[in-house]
Chain A
Amino acid sequence: MKRHLISAADLTRDDALLILDTAEELAHIAERPIKKLPTLRGRTVVNLFFEDSTRTRISFEAAAKRLSADVINFSVKGSSVSKGESLKDTALTLQAMGADAVVIRHGASGAPYTLANSGWLHGSVVNAGDGTHEHPTQALLDAFTMRRRLSGPDARGGLDGRRITIVGDVLHSRVARSNVLLLATLGADVTLVAPPTLLPIGVETWPCSVSYDIDATLAKADAVMMLRVQRERMNAAFFPTEREYSRRYGLDAKRMAALPDHAIVMHPGPMNRGMEIAAEVADSARSTIVEQVTNGVSVRMAVLYLLLGGSEPAVTTATTTEETTA
């Protein structure tokens, strides 16, 4: 595995499977009364968040703490990058503090890439979402959730032949970009569904299919992932009205009924209930939305462990030779 996780494209199939399998092992920790491993004791993980995202930050924080790392939360919220301290100076500060890993969420696409490749700091960089570029740990937790729900917790291997439909604002979605790349690596057949205005130029070169018609894809889908659509997009003429979007691309109970029995419904959150997803769908038995949050911690533990820890199996190593792995 590379030293940083910036893009889902950084992961080979073996890398991705190693993360998913490691996460599966680490998931058992959550079932223990004491949800903690000493694996990363003495290591410092910085959560560097330039955008508000409580759910992603606490997920990374829980993951790092369960591995006994020291966690520093560094929020630069409200600070416009052009007016506040520069990314470079922030990075130099973190380097001086001895950060072993920096988990970065940033509004500018490419900021994690720049942080990892600038020479400003030496620790591992984990992209926790950058602009409209990528969100690789979200894709990993989505893949983890799909594998578990579709094949069971003992399943190993990829998602070969699984049909995944991703619906919504692909143009502005870092979740969609990372998912398309990772799911293709894992062998799934991905179909993106969106109005043409919300698909990027060049999407035909991506490793997936594209459709403007959600109803044409549902009957064969193993999983359907609904992306958040910001209501304000209608002001920039991406679609005429909220109601029209909801009618043409929203997942309601009627559409959900068209799914095969085993199919699951996913959403990276936060949801716009009544917009891209109906409340009864979000709360249905098919919905994995809460599970995705739980799985996020396991997957992020696996990522931090593999970037900072070592190549040996996570749980066994950690429990038997606590000190040497730190």
Chain B
Amino acid sequence: MSTYLIKNAKVLGGDAQDVLISDGLVTRVGTGIDAPQAAQTIDAAGHILLPGLVDLHTHLREPGREDAETVETGTRAAALGGFTAVHAMANTDPVADTAGVVEQVWRLGQEAGRCDVHPVGAVTVGLAGERLAELGAMHDSAAGVKVFSDDGKCVHDAVIMRRALEYVKAFDGVVAQHAQEPRLTEGAQMNEGTVSGMLGLRGWPAVAEEAIIARDVLLTAHVGSRLHVCHVSTAGSVEIIRWAKSKGWDVTAEVTPHHLLLTDELVRSYDPVYKVNPPLRTAEDIAALREGLADGTIDAVATDHAPHPCEDKDCEWAVAAMGMLGLETALSIVQQTMVDTGLLDWAGVADRMSVRPARIGRLDGHGRAIAAGEPANLVLVDPAARRTVEPSELASRSSNTPYAGMELPGRVAATFLRGVPTVIDGKLA
């Protein structure tokens, strides 16, 4: 296995240090390390070294919608975005609700090799919200599933949710809830507010998210289990989660990059690239989400990377698919919204994009300290670089990025997965 010496990188944004990688591990961290024979040296002056990013929420679309994304293309995008592990959501076709499907996705990830793929198992059979899927079988499979979610749909039945929370305690699992009260959001097209009223688009009210989160944190406390809240999008949700955490309950939450930056004002263009679930909210929500991420109420940034073929976005708003790409732009958006604004330092970015998501997903090899003996899952970032997002240049099979044409800060210079570069000089290795 190759040996790499990363020279003068700011580890977690701190002082410049050299980091030696060999045989899949970080072997030395210090200053003035001389390159051993046959080592490749990477000049990282001015660059930030972070643990490889971990995404709790990725739609890889395989099996079933290989026209939108495959495990192969999705993990390329992930590596370019600085990720060394992603959680592949269960709403594929067939749904990942059996050991067979999660093992298939797991195997495809192994074969792709650019990024660890951890399948998320469905909570209920077919995401229908009626009967529990075989959660234990998925956990016991080769995929070793720890995270269960009906994402795309809410586990809306209180009894099913309670049972799921209880059941996964047996193997330290977590239920990741897509919080959306279904009756309050029938036919919903965008955030319910001033803009939806003017545009005549059916509203998706904040209370539909907040009511489910409030119920679920109480259920979690009642049964003593572990809850993760997917893609928190409203100020009220942040408040409820902050309250739940103050009680000491085992509740974690994620926010997407797009909910940290984009508002529902964009929908005035009726451009379906801005159609996403949960919907883009208001500037007040963005402020609360950023604050929640900064103070740790929100544990993680998760992309909700949701590729769609162009025909599902090149149409009128009402029939367009919901979702937007995220893997290749996530770190830049976090830099722009959290780091460049002074809300979070790079060590904080490492915590929210690697350490805590790895802990929530119970991934032992990721989100570790950058120290001798630790697995060499690393990402090297050039924070001074700027780039303009060009959809056709993305590695994803789809091009539904809401950032097309925007100039964003930061660039992933290199990504290492267990000591092997998956990205080098900003390109796939």
Question: B-contacting residues of A (Cβ < 8 Å)?
Answer: 81-82, 86-88, 106-111, 113-114, 117-118, 130-134, 174, 177, 200-203, 205-206
Assuming the contacts A177-B198, A200-B196, A202-B194, asked whether A82 and B319 have C-beta atoms less than 8 A apart, the reply is yes
Q: A81-B319, A202-B193, A202-B196 are in contact. List 11 more A-B contacts (CB 8 A).
A: A81-B316, A81-B318, A106-B316, A108-B319, A109-B199, A109-B270, A109-B318, A110-B317, A131-B200, A201-B203, A203-B197
Report the minimal beta-carbon distance from B269 to chain A, rounded to whole angstroms: 8
* In-complex Cβ contact of B201 among A88, A110, A114, A117 (8 A): A110
Contact between chains at B198 and A114 (CB < 8 Å): no
Alpha-carbon gap, A131 to B194, bound state (A): 17
State which of A114, A118, A132, A203 has its C-beta within 8 Å of the C-beta of B200: A132
Q: Which of A110, A132, A201 contacts B316 (CB 8 A)?
A: A110
Contact (Cβ within 8 A) A174 B200? yes
**Is B364 on the interface with A (CB-CB < 8 A)?**
no
Picked from B197, B270, B319, the residue with its CB within 8 Å of the CB of A201 is B197
In the A-B complex, the 7 residue pairs with the smallest Cβ-Cβ separation, listed nearest first, are A133-B200, A202-B194, A200-B197, A110-B270, A108-B318, A132-B200, A202-B197
Tell me whether B311 is interfacial, beta carbon within 8 Å. Answer: yes
A201 touches B192 (CB 8 A): yes
- Tell me if B314 counts as interface (CB < 8 A to partner A): yes
Determine the distance from Cα of A29 to Cα of B339 in the docked complex, in whole angstroms: 67
Contacts of A88 in B (CB 8 A): 314-315
Contacts of B192 in A (CB 8 A): 201
B193 partner residues in chain A, CB cutoff 8 A: 201-202
**Complex: A131 Cα to B319 Cα, angstroms:** 13
* Bound Cα distance A82, B195 (Å): 25
Q: Which A residues are in CB contact (< 8 Å) with B319?
A: 81-82, 108
**Can you pick out 17 interface pairs between chain A and chain B where the beta carbons lie within 8 Å of each other?**
A86-B311, A106-B316, A108-B318, A109-B201, A110-B270, A110-B318, A113-B270, A114-B270, A114-B316, A117-B270, A131-B318, A132-B201, A134-B200, A177-B198, A201-B192, A202-B197, A203-B197
B92 to chain A, nearest CB (A): 21
In the bound complex, do residue A130 and residue B196 qualify as a contact, i.e. CB atoms below 8 Å apart?
no
Among B195, B198, B200, B318, which residue has the most Cβ atoms of chain A within 10 A? B200
Nearest residue in B to A80 (C-beta to C-beta)? B319
Q: Which residue of the partner chain A has the closest CB to B189?
A: A109
Cα–Cα distance between A81 and B193 once the two chains are bound (Å): 26
**Chain A residues with CB below 8 A from B270, complex form:** 109-110, 113-114, 117
Which single residue of chain B is at the shortest CB-CB distance from A177?
A: B200
**Complexed CA–CA distance, A117 and B202 (Å):** 22
When each residue 230-272 of chain B gets 1 if its CB lies under 8 Å from chain A and 0 otherwise, what string results? 0000000000000000000000000000000000000001100
Evaluate contact between A130 and B200: CB separation under 8 angstroms: yes
B318 pairs with A201, CB closer than 8 A: no
Bound-state Cα–Cα, A133 to B201, Å: 7
Residue in contact with A109 in the complex, picked from B200, B205, B269, B311, CB distance below 8 Å:
B200
Q: Which residues of B contact A106 (CB under 8 A)?
A: 316
CA distance A181 to B198 in the complex (A): 10
Nearest CB in chain A to that of B203: its residue: A201
- For the complex formed, measure the closest distance between the CB of A255 and the CB atoms of chain B, giving whole angstroms: 27
Tell me, in angstroms, the Cα distance from A272 to B194 when the chains sit together: 30
B200 CB contacts on chain A under 8 angstroms: 109-110, 130-134, 174, 177
A250 to B247, CA, bound (A): 52
Report how far A114 CA is from B270 CA in the complex, Å: 7
Say how far A183's CB is from chain B's closest CB, in angstroms: 15
CB distance from A209 to the nearest CB of B (A): 16
Nearest-Cβ distance from residue B13 to partner chain A, whole angstroms: 42
A87 to B315, CA, bound (A): 6
Complex interface: chain B residues within 8 A of A82 (CB): 319
Cα A244 to Cα B190 in complex, Å, equals 31
Q: In whole angstroms, how far apart are the Cα atoms of A241 and B197 in the complex?
A: 25
CB-nearest residue of chain B to A134: B200
Chain B residues with Cβ below 8 Å from A118 are: 314
* 8 Å CB contact of B199 from A81, A107, A110: A110
**Contact: A108 with B316, CB < 8 Å?**
yes
Give a binary string over B183-227; 1 marks a CB under 8 Å from any A CB, 0 the rest: 000000100111111111111010000000000000000000000
Report the minimal beta-carbon distance from A185 to chain B, rounded to whole angstroms.
Answer: 15
Residues 72-122 of B at the A interface (beta carbon under 8 Å): none
**In the complex the two chains form, what is the Cα distance from A106 to B317 in whole Å?**
12
| Interchain CA distance A114-B196 in the complex, whole Å | 16
Please, how many angstroms separate the alpha-carbon atoms of A234 and B199 in the complex?
A: 24
The winner among B199, B202, B203 for most chain A CB atoms within 10 A is B199
Residues of A within 8 A of B318 (CB): 81, 107-111, 131
When C-beta atoms are compared, the residue in chain A nearest to B186 turns out to be: A236
CA distance A205 to B193 in the complex (A): 10
- Chain A residues, CB < 8 A from B196: 200-202
Residues in A whose Cβ lies below 8 Å from that of B195: 202
- A170 to chain B: closest CB distance in Å? 9
Q: Measured between alpha carbons, how far is A111 from B319 in the docked complex, in Å?
A: 10
User: How far in angstroms is the closest Cβ of chain A from B274?
Assistant: 12
Task: Please report the C-alpha to C-alpha distance between residue A36 and residue B200 in the assembled complex, in whole angstroms.
Answer: 37
Distance of B189 from chain A, by nearest CB (Å) = 8
| Residues from chain B with Cβ under 8 Å of A202 in the complex | 193-198
Q: List, in ascending order, chain B residues with CB within 8 A of A111's CB.
A: 316-318
